[in-house]
Amino acid sequence: MMKLEMTNLEQTTALAVELGHRAFKGMVVTLDGDLGAGKTTFTQGFAKGLGVTRNVNSPTFTIMKVYTGRLPLYHMDVYRLEGGDDIGLEEYLNGDGVAVVEWSELIADVLPPERLAITIERTGDDSRRFLLEPIGEQYIKICEGLYP
């Protein structure tokens, strides 16, 4: 578990862009934390690092949006997913692109065992604590040498 203290928005964006650069085929990133923690903000930077040129916004009302980058990006926000809904997210979670899931704790039962689990805590107006838990060899490797 890595704990990274972000003192401002620019640091969060830099971290996210760097992880987007390092993203690999089949990667899954889960984002948990309260409303306003910075899950979507992180995803925007991550998408940029992945080479997505379109503007990424919150997919809350659509559950998932697909973007084109160096690899396809599947951006999910499962906050409004009703229990029992089966909209085929598993296909994307095990797909060839990169999946980023906001509120992943709500679909814990379908998450692949290996992933980068990120929890964001609001520590101030502009500061955030990022807890990175890389699960699996590939994820441990891509988290090496990350700085705020």
Least Å from the CB of residue 13 to Mg ion: 15
Q: For residue 37, which of 56, 12, 63 has the smallest C-alpha distance?
A: 12
For residue 59, the minimal CB distance to ligand ADP (Å) is 10
Q: List CB contacts of 84: < 8 A, sequence separation 6 or more.
A: none
**Residue 39 found at the interface with Mg ion (CB under 5 A):** yes
Angle (nearest 5°) at CA 8 between 7 and 10: 130
**Taking CB under 6 A as the rule, which mask of x and - marks residues 72-111 in contact with ligand ADP?**
------------------------------x---------
Residue 119 contacts which entry, Mg ion, ligand ADP, none (Cβ below 5-8 A, type-dependent): none
* SS3 (DSSP) at 66: strand
Binding site for Mg ion (CB under 5 A): 39-40, 58, 102
Binding site for ligand ADP (CB under 6 A): 6, 8-9, 12, 33, 35-41, 102, 126-128
